[in-house]
Amino acid sequence: MPIYRLSRHIVFPDPREAEADGLLAIGGDLSPQRLLTAYACGIFPWPHGADWPLLWFSPDPRLILRPEALHVSRSLRKTLHRGTFEVRFDTAFDQVIRACAAKARPGQQGTWITPEMIRAYQVLHHLGFAHSAEAWMDGQLVGGLYGIALGAAFFGESMFTHRSDASKVAFVRLVQHLQGWGFHFIDCQIYTPHLSHFGAEPWPRDAFLSALASALQAPTRQGHWQAAATA
């Protein structure tokens, strides 16, 4: 399959033409319009370093979690019942994405969440498309995650934790709220054992794209989310 080079026009190739590793295109920018178009097409940016052009991916299979299939372990349920953490949405987006960028990743040098990525997703947050779920303890942010909401689809991007179970609790509460709001799925992008333990499953790309087209028929829950819960 060819690797496409993006132009100034905000158009993406068919995601089914991606390479075996999911790489579809290079170049372009991180403007809000291009990012939202990419997600709506089942494509996401994944920078690989300052010396690389911007890379765009659509992997096959795609790791997907249906909210109703969420699995919570017995130990995590105990943490949820204890009320160790307060979970908030959209109160500290900048802190969350910067903490995700600073997270150490075994086997990786640096982070794919570049300063340009941070600025781009801050703009999407300001526009009401990017959201954070945050775990707080004694007034301190100790874990969380961020992602993009379009229609009835939520695209998870990254998470971090400074306390055991903090990001897990934030994730569970987010999924529970997404289910209540009628979201169809959470896109976890690429397989990890951590997310598979929550019930996420690999879907063929064609199945994901079909589900995405259906989810995009729903109105986007745009704006800052105001839900909060003790967990």
Longest dimension (CA), the chain: 53
In the numeric block, the tokens 């379009």 are attached to 150
| Six token digits for residue 55 | 């890379």
Structure tokens at 126: 């300001």
What's the CATH code, domain 4-61? 3.30.70.3550
199 φψ region: left (φ > 0), alpha (ψ -120 to 50), beta (else):
left
Secondary structure of 1-46 in HEC code, one letter for each residue:
CCCEEECCCCCCCCHHHCCCCCEEEEECCCCHHHHHHHHHCCCEEC
pLDDT given for residue 227 in this prediction: 59
Q: Which helix (H) or strand (E) holds 182?
A: none
What is the Cα Rg of the chain in Å? Answer: 17
Q: Where are the domains of the chain?
A: 4-61, 63-230
Q: What pLDDT is attached to residue 230?
A: 47
Return the pLDDT at 183: 98
Q: What is the pLDDT along the chain (231 residues), one digit of tens a residue?
A: 678 999 889 999 999 999 999 999 999 999 999 999 999 999 999 988 667 789 999 999 999 999 999 999 999 999 999 999 999 999 999 999 999 999 865 544 447 899 999 999 999 999 999 999 999 999 999 999 999 999 999 999 999 999 999 999 999 999 999 999 999 999 999 999 999 999 999 999 999 999 999 999 999 999 999 854 444
> CATH assignment of 63-230?
3.40.630.70
Task: Determine how many CB atoms are found less than 10 A away from the CB of residue 171.
Answer: 27
Rounded CA-CA distance 177/61 in Å is: 26
Under DSSP, the state recorded for 16 is G
Q: Is 187 helix (H, G, I), strand (E, B) or coil?
A: strand
Output the pTM of the full model: 0.94
pLDDT of residue 158: 97
Q: What pairing do the DSSP bridges indicate for beta strands 185-189 and 55-57?
A: unpaired
Task: Check if the beta carbon of residue 223 is closer than 8 Å to that of residue 90.
Answer: no
- My answer on whether omega of the bond before 53 falls inside 30° of 0, hence cis, is no
